[in-house]
Structure 1
Amino acid sequence: MKSLFVLAMMIALASCASTMNGHRMKAAQRKMLETRRLQQAGEWDAALAMSERMHSSVSKSITSAPRQKSSGGTMVDLQPLLAGWENGPFAELKTTLKKHDSKRSPAAFASLRQQCVNCHTVLGKTKVQVSAIP
């Protein structure tokens, strides 16, 4: 009976973590879109601050569950994907926001979004849609 209780608690905690990550990733998506809106409005410093909040949501999601099971059943280590996102598209976005570079920012946003889609694809979560960036 005790082992059944422990198993039930582990399942409940895993479900809670999964739900929390879902909320964090939805928040990250809202923050990504808000970052773009602020950038388009010429509010560069606010856009940079919002991008950091977006980063926090993504980072917390991955660090709380760095290894996740894909839809195919294999375990996927998300930490290298996070590092690639941080050092690639996210770093480029931050650079364009700091430089107030309105010519390069659309490409930076598109690249950032594509890296999000790539991560979801690796996990087999193709039904999880990442909003298009205007």
Structure 2
Amino acid sequence: MTSKYLITSEKFTGSLFMEYKDGIIWKFEFSKDCNINSDTRAQLAKKIRIQEDSVELWNNNPSLILTRLLNDTTFEVFYKAYPRKDGKKLMAQRVWEKMKDVERIQAITYIDTLIEQKTSDGTAYPYASTYLNQRYWL
């Protein structure tokens, strides 16, 4: 079984992504927009919990927000949630395949915010490929 978590904070931009497979850490990565210096990155990396059952310890730090994420970050999930279906789907899919998991999660979770923005200001949704290429969620 796979579980995914995102760590964010008001003290830095970007996020940290952790993935556990069968209860053991499998992946840990910083988002591209993460502005944490290398010393702080090293400190955070040392605090990684090998066992998933201790991942909740991240919540002991009041400046960090730990969020459990949806497991399915496939292009199909993104495209189903994205409000504009015209345009070049294959082009969007190629961009998606080059993205890291953390970026995929950010792209999916930002869709609701994009819908609110575009509804309130009355402007059109960008094509899916434009949304992904220009990283609207950043």
Greater percentage in helix: 1
Name the TM-score, length of structure 2 as normaliser: 0.25
